[in-house]
């Protein structure tokens, strides 16, 4: 037994040493990403239990810019052990770990707790070896202050606290898991409100919240906030904002509920009667969704909120995560194209339903096609792009276009069946990239295998071009001749749509086979010809897709 134990940990140690050495040989820009990936991967070797429930108490001291937490964590052991490894965000300091009867446990940082990781791995020595399946509750006491914070800081002002890193701001097991939680605001200045996850408990004045279902992560907003409430699409929508700065919170809350109604038709029911939408005046930079809670920055640098369709797009993207991420989970590694790409594509469909086809075209062009055309790093396999990569935006942009191409290949019925099946089969579970591609093959058949190879695991490109355009006058109109050619390695099967717009504003669509000369006569003057105007193919070199008079 001792020899097997030594051999096993020697192997793990050799792997760690090799990967750490590899980090030191690559460029500094890539080291942070590789270390985080190493940290996640190595954590899986330490798995010894699953978290079932958090009973979390929060006490704020804004005068000292600090906060303390007491978290009673119920864990079910997944193997016989006397040691647990759990994580805590690197910005927090773990003060004490104790048993439910008050016995202090020895704990310390694991050697893999490197400075660039967003979390710290702690080893906790249990009082005795426990059997697999044993449930035990441990009390974690920890705090955050200006002295402990290294990456992020939750006080956005002296009257606004926002703890929202979903995976790391409370103790949990190394690998992904779903849990329930109750969060209590034990101490805060008079007049401060907590917006948590699920619903506030009656009689607590909003200072205790219970989750409604198992969650893969959660966060809270606490501060001097005011709210308004509206009924939208059968749901109660609470909009929260700092006094005097409502921003777009009422509209974005309304759009989130409308998006949920559209997405229920695609993905299945969302048993959630209440949405809480919080408008932050600064600090987040973008937006973040949980199951019931949705937080966004009114000064967003990621999505300009000065246009109505952009506000709908952002609300729809974050609402999609209520299914993709918080109902059906995605693993941390290897799934960015799935979690963010699919959420973005679903947002495109919501924009089309609410604002129409032209609005959807505008969103796709601005959010995917234009950034990819300007980005020289796009030539990477989607499955190889991780959350911590500098190429992370590419996974969302290209991923959304690839999902649109998959939609074209499968058709409405099979594509939406795929998505509903994914949500159903992975509810309260975590899918990896391979899990989803296996499901694609199961729904779409062997014909999808090449699609996976080309678009998810491959790094080649598609580039259609409009060539040989010739306009000839004929009686009462014009004769148009053109060819759609492929100028890159990849093609999508079947004809591609070509849109012809006449001077009188009329629009005509031609299904053009690649490489075939097309000749069509129109009863008017042609002013514009566009290949694939609805962006059904992942073609981001659009300058050769258009002819204009």
pLDDT value of position 499: 98
Terminal Cα distance for the chain, rounded: 80
CA distances from 339 to 169, 177, 428 (A): 21, 16, 15
Q: How confident is the model at residue 32 (pLDDT cuts 50, 70, 90)?
A: low
Percent of the chain at pLDDT > 70 equals 90
> Rounded to an integer, what distance in angstroms lies between the CA atom of residue 67 and that of residue 59?
6
pLDDT beyond 60 at 3: no
Residue 10 has pLDDT above 70, yes or no: no
How confident is the model at residue 21, as a pLDDT?
40
- For residue range 497-521, list pLDDT tens digits in order: 999 999 999 999 999 999 999 999 9
Least confident of 122-131, 163-172, 218-227: 163-172
User: How much is the CA Rg of the chain, to the nearest whole Å?
Assistant: 26
What phi-psi label fits residue 334: left (phi over 0), alpha (psi between -120 and 50 degrees) or beta?
left
Q: What are the b/e assignments for 339-356, b being 16+ CB within 10 Å?
A: bbbbbbbbbbbbbbbbbe
* pLDDT, mean of residues 396-406: 97
User: In b/e form, how buried is each residue of 128-150, taking b as 16+ CB within 10 angstroms?
Assistant: eebeeeeebebbbebbbbeebbe
Count of CB atoms situated within 10 Å of the CB of 192: 19
The values of phi and psi at residue 309, to 5°, are -70, -30
197 closest CA partner among 185, 179, 215: 215
Enter the pTM of the model.
0.92
Residue 36 confidence (pLDDT): 64
Nearest to 289 by CA among 326, 252, 263, 260: 326
The pLDDT of residue 261 is above 90:
yes
CATH fold label, 47-209:
Immunoglobulin-like (2.60.40)
Strand intervals (E) in 380-432: 430-431
Q: Which CATH architecture has domain 464-548?
A: Sandwich (2.60)
CA angle 396, 115, 218 (to 5 degrees): 50
- Cα distances (angstroms) measured from residue 541 to each of 8, 106, 391, 466, 504: 51, 59, 19, 11, 28
pLDDT tops 50 at residue 11: no
Mean pLDDT of the chain: 90
Cβ neighbourhood burial of 163 (10 Å; 0-12, 13-18, 19+): buried
Q: How far is CA 227 from the centre of its chain?
A: 26
Evaluate if residue 198 carries a pLDDT over 60: yes
Per-residue pLDDT tens for 310-347? Answer: 999 999 999 999 999 999 999 988 899 999 999 999 99
Q: Cα(176)–Cα(217) distance, rounded to whole angstroms?
A: 9
CATH topology of domain 225-322: Neutral Protease; domain 2 (1.10.390)
Higher pLDDT, 34 or 81: 81
> What per-residue confidence (pLDDT) applies to 313?
98
The count of other CB atoms within 10 Å of the CB of residue 155 is 22
**Quick one: pLDDT at residue 17?**
40
Q: What class is the 329-455 domain?
A: mainly alpha
Going by pLDDT thresholds of 50, 70 and 90, the confidence category of residue 223 is very high
**pLDDT(13) > 60:** no
Higher confidence at residue 302 or residue 545? 545
Q: Cα–Cα distance between 363 and 352 in angstroms, integer?
A: 9
pLDDT in tens, 432-481: 999 999 999 999 988 899 999 999 999 999 999 999 999 999 998 999 99
pLDDT of residue 169: 67
Q: d(Cα 314, Cα 351) in Å, to the nearest integer?
A: 10
- Indicate whether 380 pLDDT > 90: no
- Rounded to the nearest 5 degrees, what angle is found at the Cα of 181, between the Cα atoms of 175 and 185? 125
Residue 376: the pLDDT is: 74
């Amino acid at each position: 037994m001792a020899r097997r134990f030594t051999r096993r940990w020697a192997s793990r140690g050799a792997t760690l040493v090799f990967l750490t050495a590899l980090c030191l040989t690559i460029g500094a820009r890539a080291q942070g990403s590789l270390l985080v990936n190493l940290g996640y991967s190595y954590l899986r070797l330490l798995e010894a239990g699953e978290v079932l429930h958090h009973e979390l108490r929060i006490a704020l001291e804004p005068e000292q810019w600090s906060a303390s937490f007491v978290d009673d964590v119920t864990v079910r052991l997944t193997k016989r052990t006397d040691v647990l490894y759990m994580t805590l965000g690197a910005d927090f300091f773990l003060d004490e770990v104790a048993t439910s009867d008050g016995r202090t446990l020895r704990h310390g940082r694991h050697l893999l707790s490197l400075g660039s990781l967003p979390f710290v791995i702690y080893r906790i020595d249990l009082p005795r070896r426990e059997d697999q399946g044993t449930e035990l509750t441990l009390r974690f006491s920890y705090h955050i202050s200006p002295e402990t914070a290294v990456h992020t800081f939750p006080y956005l002002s002296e009257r606004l606290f926002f703890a929202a890193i979903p995976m790391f701001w409370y103790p949990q097991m190394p690998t992904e898991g779903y849990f329930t939680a109750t969060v209590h605001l034990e101490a805060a200045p008079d007049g401060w409100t907590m917006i948590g996850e699920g619903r506030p408990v009656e009689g607590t004045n909003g200072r205790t919240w219970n989750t409604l279902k198992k969650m893969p992560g959660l966060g809270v907003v606490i501060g001097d906030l005011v709210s308004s409430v509206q009924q939208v699409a059968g749901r109660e929508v609470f909009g929260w904002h700092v006094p005097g700065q409502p921003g777009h919170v009422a509209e974005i809350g309304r759009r989130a509920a409308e998006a949920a109604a559209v997405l229920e038709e695609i993905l299945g029911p969302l048993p959630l009667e209440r949405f809480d939408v919080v408008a932050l005046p600064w600090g987040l930079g973008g937006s973040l969704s949980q199951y019931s809670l949705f937080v966004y920055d009114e000064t967003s640098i990621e999505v300009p909120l000065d246009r109505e369709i952009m506000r709908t797009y952002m609300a729809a993207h974050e609402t999609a995560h209520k299914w993709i991420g918080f109902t059906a989970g995605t693993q941390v590694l290897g799934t960015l194209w799935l979690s963010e790409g699919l959420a973005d594509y679903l947002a495109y469909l919501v924009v089309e339903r609410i604002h129409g086809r032209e609005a959807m075209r505008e969103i796709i062009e601005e959010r995917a096609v234009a950034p990819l055309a300007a980005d020289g790093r796009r030539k990477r396999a989607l499955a190889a792009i991780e959350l911590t990569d500098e190429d992370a935006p590419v996974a969302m942009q290209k991923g959304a276009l690839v999902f649109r191409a998959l939609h074209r290949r499968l058709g409405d019925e099979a594509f939406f069946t795929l998505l509903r099946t994914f949500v159903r089969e992975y509810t309260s579970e975590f899918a990896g990239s391979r899990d989803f591609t296996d499901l694609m093959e199961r729904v779409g058949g062997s014909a999808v295998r090449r699609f996976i190879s080309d678009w998810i695991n491959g790094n080649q490109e598609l580039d259609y071009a409009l060539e040989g355009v010739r306009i000839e006058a004929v009686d009462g109109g014009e004769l148009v001749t053109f060819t759609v050619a492929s100028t890159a390695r990849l093609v999508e099967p079947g004809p591609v749509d070509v849109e012809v717009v006449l001077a009188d504003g009329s629009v005509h669509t031609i299904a053009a086979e690649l490489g075939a000369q097309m000749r069509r006569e129109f009863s008017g003057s042609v002013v514009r010809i566009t290949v694939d105007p609805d962006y059904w193919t992942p073609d981001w070199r659009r300058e050769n897709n258009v002819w204009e008079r």
